[in-house]
Structure 1
């Protein structure tokens, strides 16, 4: 305040001196010009400083966890019987049915059981551990659906937008985002396109596939909305829309807006030939002649993401499910849409929401299975019972549905909470 008074006094003296001068008009004009220039410079610099602060604030807020997902366990004394029975089940299916994987069970948003059995690397006899990272196969689709719903909540897309709004050259007209989400688009299988119409030596990416489709001979199965047909192609297109709208590659979008905010530190998207293999990332295997495990190689379809190629652990998937169900990642309205059956234009219900399957008779059983290159995965969410069962495996195990039922039965009969 004192400095301001001193500056004002100095200004008054300076003006008086100028007025006394014979050249006061000229000096006054020069004074005003110089003052204006200095004011402009300081104002511009101030705006830049404010802009920098806003950008910095935005970056900080984007990296700040949405919610600190508490990884809590039931007291050991309440789970001794359950753990014993589930340990016995895992050992039995490992020996009899060549199960090499991880299981996590959560009740009331607390972990009841978490364990793994078998090998991560069969040649080196390295056992699986909690940090072992599995390819999720089609369980990946729920992350693509969540990314779409995030963009919808930000007002950047509408579920009624057509693919042609984002990709004018897309050859299959009048397909909406909602058609893609609940598999009523009628799109052809991109596997055939990649295997028969892609001529490069390198596996195609999403961008490559979207550039090939306008010239493809592949015909759609039906007009949009007329029927239900499970479509990997639809989720590849959705991932491409995420990239187009957000300006980020799909893997970076999931990292920035889902994995990092939820502290899913062992989760990532892997595109064959484009990304480096990560620490603890598993290979898929198949059993040969009943005793030897052969590693399954990659194919021309393995660089494409959105329908598959999210890698994660059982604990990270627990954080993911917790965040969804508790409303910390999406609004309740968006989650309700994801967990609700779709329907055709004729009003017939289809057993799929957005990234999740639904029981045909039981809407409260929300789940998804995945199978790809030796990986078998399942995430089952029994909403009414607040029970989540996660199973991840990497040696072509074929009885996930049976295993899920066995786990649920053991929990129901032996966990008293």
Structure 2
């Protein structure tokens, strides 16, 4: 019951003015390629690419009538917005080292007015404090016409009765207040204003002569620094070849954050003040209508700085960044629907062989309908039988989306209640609480959204569970206690922890409510309405059933996992890209009130974000049965699937009606999944996103 690994996806005009400026060693062919691609995307703003201290490309793109904004010209500074946070984290690291202060120290030790004694400096640096977003304190703050002052923000925070959403360190929540408070901490420890300390400690020593601090920024520390692309080259150099801090101290900024609670540890792709990957880091800021992205590849020593004076989204700027990296590093262009025409292009079958991915199935949707599908490769590398359009792929956790749709249909019929306490409702299964808190209970809504607090310690793959039909018969081999291991490990609703076993409880309720076996319920409520012909929850498929076998990283066939009955809702489905894609397309259509499968209100309920899905990906929110991506100009809903040897993804835009399903039979499937998604989303001109 494992979710797929989410990779960081590093994905009009009267006339166009393209102002060339001094560049380094990037070839003219590459420059032309970059210009052409950015124009095709209607990009406006400034792009700078540097390697080491050398500027390889610095160009202004503008195609609006009238005067160009000052930020498009050289030497004019622009507000970094939340890209400021990396400077704040760096400055604080200097002070902690100088004064021999531990990041594990409570903030209140240095800021007597800070109201939460359990929150540490490290919690603020990594956004694991649980503090509220400021709009939870003042929902109208960002729309107020009059300029707000820093002290007003502080007073509103300290007088708020809102408590941290979760115990510090256990979860991740992006809030401006964390780095706003760190700004005050810098002032207390340095005995200087934030502006003076940043200037004297970082900007002047690095000769960042066109950078400064706006002392009137109400969230100083979280935002407030102004800079320009050339100065950011100097900042990039300091992060890679530090002179103001020992290298091991700077590298702490790039370490993935570890979320830890009584269940497990999860590493997420956020460091200190920036998003991080294995060898790169990046940050996005948007303030006063000006957006910018700072991306640094530490392996190749490449910096990409993008400025958009018209406020492009995080997804927009991330997509422009991907165009640049694809051009700079010279990756071959994937041709999905037609044959390659030259050596700069490559077909999917070639990439599959290189990656040891035997089979891939793809289904593409437009205007809420399937417009193209194709299955590539072989069902397994032993027999080399080719996949067909009927070949079944393992859905893994994509099964949960079908379960969620079924649950809300039963709720529409009055057979299930989304919000009632379930603990005394189920005939055979009762939830164990480690520590019962007043007013806390588990309901269908919290189970669908992985916010119930209910989870298993490990999983139920142990052979001892073979042929077990009921939750009460299951043994969790990771739990020290006898039984299935399902307990409430945190207060329901305080955070989201992915729980496959939570969907086993939903399955239990569905079966009790309908008095049918789970596969029969799915057939009645989803399979028949959508005319499924191939999808099945059977776990004893044979060669005659035309299904893919799973493969490991070396291309070896893996023993097929047979889900026990209580796991079917969480991961037991076999399906085709088209048939599971039709579920997503129907949910998308239902948000417009045009579906006979579920109502508009039920669809919107499923796709309404509840909270961050941080322990899976910092760029997603959890809905009910689906995850939500709001990183671009429009919203996507998605889910992945991972059963050992099988990886898949469904990614749809409910408002625009387009989407894709990609299914593979290999542990190596993730990279090709994201590459196909990138190619299709660009070719079809989808709204941009980060994942």
* TM-score after normalising by structure 1: 0.69
Work out the CA distance in 2 between the residues paired with 1:217 and 1:126: 41
Gaps of 5+ in 2: 1-334, 434-440, 590-594, 613-618, 687-691
Describe how 1:314-333 pairs up with structure 2 within 5 A. 314-326=577-589, 327-333=595-601
2: CA distance between counterparts of 1:211 and 1:224?
Answer: 24
Q: Deviations over 1:90-123 (max 9, x none)?
A: 2242132233211111111343321121111322
**Alpha-carbon separation, structure 1, partners of 2:485 and 2:641:** 28
Check conservation: 2:368, 2:586, Cα contact below 8 A: no
Q: Is the 8 A contact 1:190 1:233 kept in 2?
A: no
SS in structure 2 of the partner of residue 254 of structure 1: helix
Q: Could you tell me how far apart the structure 2 residues matched to 1:186 and 1:103 are? A: 35
Asked if 1:90 corresponds to 2:348, the answer is: yes
Determine helix, strand or coil for the equivalent of 1:166.
Answer: coil
* 2:448 match: 181
The CA distance in 1 between the partners of 2:628 and 2:565, in whole Å, is 27
CA distance in 1, matches of 2:457, 2:547: 26
> Within 1, Cα distance between the matches of 2:655 and 2:347?
25
Which residue of structure 2 aligns with residue 75 of structure 1?
A: none
SS in 1 for 2:524: helix
State the match for 2:678 in structure 1: 405
In angstroms, what is the RMSD of aligned CA positions?
3.1
Alpha-carbon distance in 2 for matches of 1:210, 1:229: 21
Describe the SS at the equivalent of 2:560: coil
TM alignment of 1:13-162, pairs within 5 A:
83-84=337-338, 89-99=347-357, 100-162=359-421
Query: How many positions carry a matched residue from both structures?
Result: 321
1:280 to 546, 554, 559: 546
- Pair 1:192–1:374, CA change in 2 (3 A): closer
Distance 1:412 1:224, change over 3 A: same
- One of 532, 535, 548 as aligned partner of 1:267: 535
Counterpart contact for 2:336–2:347, Cα < 8 Å: no
Q: Secondary structure at the match of 1:114?
A: strand
Q: Matches of 1:201 and 1:337 in 2, distance apart? A: 35
Asked if structure 1 preserves the Cα contact closer than 8 Å seen for 2:369 and 2:585, the reply is no
CA distance, structure 2, for counterparts of residue 214 and residue 202 of structure 1: 17
Q: What per-residue deviation string (whole Å, max 9, x for no partner) do you get for residues 320-371 of structure 1?
A: 2333333221000000001111149xxxx98111111111535611001111
Asked if 1:306 is matched to 2:560, the reply is: no
- Out of 552, 558, 567, which is 1:295 matched to? 558
CA gap of 1:350–1:297, structure 2 versus 1, over 3 A, is: closer
Give the equivalent residue in structure 2 for 1:354.
624
Distance 2:485 2:624 in 1: 28
Is the partner of 1:281 in helix, strand or coil? coil
- Between Structure 1 and Structure 2, the one with more helix by share is 1
1:189 and 1:233 in contact (8 A); partners too: yes
Change (3 A) 1:215 1:202: closer
Decide whether the 8 Å contact of 1:182 with 1:354 is kept in 2: yes
- For 2:536 and 2:545, the matched residues in 1 are separated by 11
Report deviation, 1:128: 0.9
Q: How many angstroms apart in 1 are the aligned matches of 2:485 and 2:377?
A: 45
1:165–1:219 Cα change, 3 Å: closer
Counterpart selection for 1:230 from 498, 516, 521: 498
- Inter-CA distance 278–167: structure 2 relative to 1 (3 Å threshold): farther
2:604 maps to: 336
8 Å Cα contact 1:368-1:380 kept in structure 2:
yes
Higher CA-based Rg = 1
Instruction: State the secondary structure of the residue aligned to 2:418.
Output: coil
Quote the residue 2:657 is aligned against. 386
